[in-house]
Amino acid sequence: MGLLDKLSGLLGLKKKEVHVLCLGLDNSGKTTIINKLKPSNAQTQDIVPTIGFSIEKFKTSSLAFTVFDMSGQGRYRNLWEHYYKEGQAIIFVIDSSDRLRMVVAKEELDILLNHPDIKHRRIPILFFANKMDLRDAVTSVKVSQLLSLENIKDKPWHICASDAIKGEGLQEGVDWLQDQIQAVKT
């Protein structure tokens, strides 16, 4: 049974689909996280619209996930930014052991937060400081410092340390996200 059962069950009552964007740099652990969250009966569609840019999508009865790597250069940007509009919640995954690319993750986050389709919406953001099991990993507190999360004033956000391979920390995050979506819905 997937971790999302409770979340999707709750939302299922409303018979309305919630779109979740799962973003982050390549290799941060998005696919691993999503696979852990996915109920076993979920239907998966992988689509590859352009070279150099791939999106994973899957749906449960009430949740639609769109996952993509925020890698590559400007020219694929408008392709993924196209999905921002329909996103109602964001999961942002960070590889806490990749110290060098922390600045890149911050840069991508800043661009995301300043995007016209995101900027003025009170959309909840869940951060996974992933790969916390690795020796080089920094703490989630340090990650939120490095990404200057304290500057996000107009959106609810939360950061959890996670180990996507063992599935640790994911439940805490999903619980938080659930509360947020519920708060918006009611």
Residue 173 labeled ligand binder: no
Which is catalytic among the residues 43, 45, 73, 182?
Answer: 73
Q: Considering the complex, what minimum distance in angstroms separates the CB of residue 22 from ligand GDP?
A: 9
Q: Which option in Mg ion, ligand GDP, another protein, none does residue 131 bind, with CB closer than 5 to 8 A by kind?
A: ligand GDP
Q: Considering the complex, what minimum distance in angstroms separates the CB of residue 175 from ligand GDP?
A: 18
User: Given the rule CB under 5 A, which residues bind Mg ion?
Assistant: 31
Binding flag, residue 66, ligand GDP (CB under 6 A): no
Restricting to residues 69-108, name those near another protein by CB under 8 A. Answer: 71-74, 77, 98-104, 106-108
Residue 35 labeled ligand binder: no
Residue 9 labeled ligand binder: no
Distance CA 133, CA 77 (A): 31
Helices (H), the chain: 5-12, 30-37, 74-81, 102-113, 116-119, 140-146, 170-185
In DSSP terms, which residues pair with 159 in a beta bridge? 127
Measure the CA angle with vertex 122, ends 119 and 127; round to 5°. 85
Question: Distance between terminal CA atoms of the chain?
Answer: 27
Distance CA 157, CA 19 (A): 17
Residues annotated in the binding site for Mg(2+), as ranges?
31, 50
Q: What positions carry a catalytic annotation?
A: 73
